[in-house]
Amino acid sequence: MGSATIERGVGEGGAFSHEALFYQGEQDFVDRVGAFLKESVQAREPILVVVSARKVDLLRSMLGRDAGAVRFADMADVGHNPARIIDAWQGFVGEHAASGRPFRGVGEPIWATRSAEELVECERHEALLNLAFAGAPAWQLVCPYDTETLPPAVIEEACRNHPVLDDGARRVSPAYREAAVIPAFDEPLPDPPVRPREFPFVAGDTLEPLRRFVGHQADVFGLPPSRRNDLVFSANEVATNSLVHGGGRGLLRMWPTEGAVVCEIRDQGCIEDPLVGRKRPSLEDTSGLGLWLANQLCDLVQVRSSPEGSAVRVHVSKL
């Protein structure tokens, strides 16, 4: 069965529109994304572009005087941890939703040098965007993918998470998942490459011994003092969630990798919200605050859950 192609306007029908845009190399990126930006500028539609710093420079140069009508941000900052990106888009949507006018975004979270762990979380992010903004006001988000540098499996996954935008037409692959269908939340995380150090904890005990354990292991594994504090705080927040929502007990494990220190907490709870930690909690509902804070402090946070239990794995870089 082939793909279906339809014409698609920005936020047609008052709905959120989320498409992939495939390109081959830098010049094709500038040509294709630049055309999308020019449309936005001519229509006087607000637009936020979150791509690499180099691509920001290329697009600014192409737009010339019109570059001032476009807001740019560096994805290396915004999406260093992919779980932070939805929160950034929420802020942009919040600025413009009340206007009643269409607005646009361009976001490129996936590039060839992402680690395998980051890539998985980026692909989860792309799928979860459809859930996060289901029913949102009319806006269009386009996600560029470089078919020259990305492996075929990444492009195939992009077709599952997006319709594809090509010369103004929206092509829907048979593999496309609707917003209500999200990737499995219970896929196991890979085993640690070395034997981890372990620390069990239970309700009724203070978490001070856990914090000391995390701090000591961080020192042993070579984490700089500034990042050590980020890891200790994040581990404390995740462990607190385990005590409150995860059956009152948990197991913390730590190990080093070549460039980071990893801390994982497992418990018997079941996390039902796949967006937990990715959306900023409201003042009224702070149930996801601990994981949201961990995402702000850590370089990568992986969350997996099933009826048998949950695992939260946080990575903090040694750099």
Could you write out the DSSP letters of every residue in 27-51? HHHHHHHHHHHHHHHHTT--EEEEE
pLDDT score recorded for residue 14: 59
Q: How many domains does the chain have?
A: 2
Rg (CA), the chain: 21
Domain identity same for 80 and 166: yes
Give the predicted TM-score (pTM) of the model. 0.91
CATH number, domain of 120, equals 3.40.50.12240
111 within domain boundaries: yes
304 within domain boundaries: yes
Instruction: Provide the Cα torsion 189, 81, 289, 227; round to 10°.
Output: 90
When mean pLDDT is compared across 88-92, 175-179, 228-232, 307-311, the lowest value belongs to 175-179
Residue 5: band (very low, low, confident or very high) from pLDDT cuts 50, 70, 90: very low
185 within domain boundaries: no
pLDDT score recorded for residue 281: 83
Mean pLDDT, residues 199-207 taken together: 93
Mean pLDDT, residues 82-94 taken together: 96
Domain identity same for 48 and 151: yes
CATH number, domain of 291, equals 3.30.565.10
pLDDT, the chain, mean: 91
CA-closest candidate to residue 185, choices 276, 279, 305 = 305
Q: How many CA atoms lie within 13 A of 230 on its CB side?
A: 23
179 within domain boundaries: no
Coil, strand or helix at 258: coil
pLDDT score recorded for residue 205: 83
Where in the chain does DSSP place strands (E)?
4-7, 17-23, 47-51, 71-74, 103-107, 139-146, 164-166, 169-172, 197-202, 249-256, 260-267, 300-306, 309-317
Domain range holding 294?
A: 197-317
Domain identity same for 135 and 207: no
pLDDT score recorded for residue 181: 57
pLDDT score recorded for residue 6: 33
| First-to-last C-alpha distance (Å) of the chain | 48
